[in-house]
């Protein structure tokens, strides 16, 4: 049997209009109502996935970027995933639900209390994906911090939360009807947290945890991001080139960061994966061949999607003119521009058509040149990642729409289960215990 791995789903565009612009929209789900996600999350649980992570961003955009973000629903509207979490926890029994929270938006005391409440309500299945994005600072009446300062604030935020979660010592909850005493205040610490960003007093007025604590996930891949994960996270959401050496290298960086805090056993690195699964290798070959010559409509769709992320209207530019650096404003993330330019990162003369076309081109899983293939071919890759990169597992990325979920998992679940890579049942104890199971 192959090495078992953990799997999850990353709802990559957050709690927003699912299926918009695709034929799936005709299924008639209302993205604002819980049933779409509840139905999907039950399928993820039946499929043996350990957790669902829900992306979030606070902002619909600035006056200059609003239209780019909302016109194709790529960047908004978005509703708050923390509010969706109880509906999903109630509709499921074993899977972990991990909404994203921006540390600038919620005070540590409030977050500690909300997450503790969800942890108790769900018997240990709640978590939080901690993000440091500062582009929405203006909505919160805050100064925009720099990259590293935002991580310093996140460190301070999570440390305050961890202190609040441990403010009730063992034995603080007495529950002795005979003496009429519910709790013992002498075992509850009122100590202060005096950080650079947050100064506050305990104790938390939520119950302590019998076992574990809400799951902490984090996605930052910079050295600061990985240092944060090493110190605090149970799960690192990793975006990397998906070749065996890159997987091994990224996971090792996370383990090295965790070793600084003696936490190597506590953390799992899960790689984000968005395969295009088809029924046969002939169909995969056909798709890959067709993608070498993208049509104008394909390029327009890609330009539209990147316009939202790059906060720059690419759809109005001449496809055959070079995409010079002056097109982008100062506020646009350098990482996003590098991602868009791809292999043309160092070539200012590359025309937009060529830059967009590379995002249309697909590659075959069986040749390790891309992620188009059959479920068995994907299972081969996942098995290889487990055997040769020590992979802890993967997060499938996409909408949380029943059509997307079934398209991804229908044939993959049997392929992975037959190999012993995907669990058949979840042990009791919540999402943290599930992830530490192997
Ligand atoms: C897989 C993945 C998921 C992410 N999810 C979110 C998110 O939900 N909300 C958000 O504001 N940023 C999200 N980010 C952005 C990160 O929080 C971070 O800002 C970005 O990766 C840059 O950080 P770095 O410089 O440490 O790599 C995500 C990044 C990755 C790679």
The Cα 219–Cα 176 span in angstroms is 44
13 C-alpha to center of ligand 1: Å? 12
Residue ending a domain, among 304, 332, 360, is: 360
Do 400 and 266 belong together in one domain?
yes
- Cα–Cα distances (Å) from 241 to 134, 238, 245, in that order, read 26, 10, 9
Do 135 and 268 belong together in one domain?
yes
Do 151 and 226 belong together in one domain?
yes
Do 432 and 310 belong together in one domain?
no
Render pLDDT for 87-107 as a digit per residue (tens, 0 to 9): 999 999 999 999 999 999 999
Ligand 1, atom 9, residue with closest C-alpha: 56
In a domain, 1, yes or no: no
Do 350 and 385 belong together in one domain?
no
Q: Which of 53, 128, 219, 397 to mutate to test the pocket of ligand 1 (most atoms within 8 A of CB)?
A: 219
Q: Which of 76, 84, 98, 220 to mutate to test the pocket of ligand 1 (most atoms within 8 A of CB)?
A: 220
Question: Which ligand 1 atom is at minimum distance from the Cα of 56?
Answer: 8
Q: Would the CB of 225 count as within 6 Å of ligand 1?
A: yes
Q: Would the CB of 221 count as within 6 Å of ligand 1?
A: yes
Do 401 and 299 belong together in one domain?
no
In a domain, 313, yes or no: yes
Do 249 and 269 belong together in one domain?
yes
Whose tokens are 């018997």? That residue is 123
Render pLDDT for 222-275 as a digit per residue (tens, 0 to 9): 999 999 999 999 999 999 999 999 999 999 999 999 999 999 999 999 999 999
Domain of 22? 6-164+206-275+372-436
Do 271 and 305 belong together in one domain?
no
Query: Domains in the chain: how many in total?
Result: 2
Question: Which ligand 1 atom is at minimum distance from the Cα of 55?
Answer: 8
- Confidence check: pLDDT of 186 > 80: yes
Residue ending a domain, among 307, 327, 360, is: 360
**Phi and psi (nearest 5°) for 215?**
-70, 135
The Cα 75–Cα 105 span in angstroms is 18
Do 136 and 97 belong together in one domain?
yes
Residue ending a domain, among 360, 382, 417, is: 360
In a domain, 367, yes or no: no
Q: Would the CB of 8 count as within 6 Å of ligand 1?
A: no
Q: Provide the CATH number for the domain around residue 212.
A: 3.20.20.30
Do 213 and 356 belong together in one domain?
no
Do 16 and 66 belong together in one domain?
yes
The answer to whether residues 385 and 365 touch, using CB atoms and an 8 Å cutoff, is no
Query: In this predicted structure, which of 2-11, 216-225, 296-305 has the lowest mean pLDDT?
Result: 296-305
Query: In this predicted structure, which of 5-14, 196-205, 277-286, 317-326 has the lowest mean pLDDT?
Result: 317-326
Ligand 1, atom 3, residue with closest C-alpha: 219
- Confidence check: pLDDT of 331 > 80: no
Question: pTM of this prediction?
Answer: 0.96
Do 129 and 153 belong together in one domain?
yes
In a domain, 33, yes or no: yes
């Amino acid at each position: 049997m192959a090495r078992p791995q953990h799997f999850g789903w990353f709802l990559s565009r957050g709690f927003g209009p699912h299926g918009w612009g695709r034929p799936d929209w005709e299924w008639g789900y209302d993205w604002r109502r819980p049933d779409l996600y509840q139905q999907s999350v039950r399928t993820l649980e039946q499929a043996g996935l350990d957790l669902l992570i829900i992306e979030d961003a606070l902002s619909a955009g600035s006056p200059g970027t609003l239209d780019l973000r909302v016109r194709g629903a790529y960047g908004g509207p978005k509703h708050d995933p923390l509010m969706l979490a109880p509906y999903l926890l109630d509709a499921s029994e074993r899977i972990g639900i991990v909404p994203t929270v921006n540390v600038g938006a919620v005070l540590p005391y409030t977050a500690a209390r909300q997450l503790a409440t969800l942890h108790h309500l769900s018997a240990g299945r709640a978590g939080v994906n901690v993000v440091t994005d500062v582009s929405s600072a203006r909505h919160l009446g805050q100064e925009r911090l720099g990259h590293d300062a935002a991580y310093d604030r996140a460190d301070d935020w999570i440390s305050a939360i961890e202190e609040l979660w441990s403010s009730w010592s063992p034995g603080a909850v007495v529950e002795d009807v005979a003496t009429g005493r519910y709790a013992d205040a002498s075992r509850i610490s009122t100590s202060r947290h005096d950080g650079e960003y947050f100064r506050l007093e305990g104790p938390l007025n939520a119950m302590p945890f019998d076992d574990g604590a809400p799951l902490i996930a984090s996605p930052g891949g910079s050295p600061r991001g990985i240092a944060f994960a090493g110190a605090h996270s149970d799960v690192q959401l990793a975006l990397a080139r998906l070749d065996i050496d890159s997987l091994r290298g990224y996971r090792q960086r996370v383990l090295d960061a965790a070793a600084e805090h003696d936490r190597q056993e506590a953390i799992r690195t899960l790689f984000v994966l968005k395969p295009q699964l088809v029924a046969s290798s002939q169909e995969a070959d056909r798709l890959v061949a067709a993608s070498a010559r993208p049509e104008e409509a394909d390029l327009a769709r890609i330009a539209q999607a990147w316009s939202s992320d790059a906060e720059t209207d690419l759809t109005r530019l001449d496809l055959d003119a070079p995409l010079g650096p002056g097109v982008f404003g100062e506020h646009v993330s350098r990482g996003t521009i590098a991602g868009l330019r791809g292999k043309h990162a160092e070539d200012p003369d590359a025309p937009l058509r060529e830059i967009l076309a590379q995002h249309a081109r697909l590659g075959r899983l069986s040749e390790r040149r891309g992620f188009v293939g059959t479920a068995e071919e994907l299972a081969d890759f996942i098995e290889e990642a487990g055997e040769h990169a020590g992979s802890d597992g993967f997060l499938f990325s996409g909408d949380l729409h029943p059509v997307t979920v079934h398209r991804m998992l229908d044939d993959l679940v049997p392929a992975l289960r037959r190999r012993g890579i995907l669990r058949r049942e979840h042990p009791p104890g919540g999402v943290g215990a599930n992830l530490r199971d192997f």
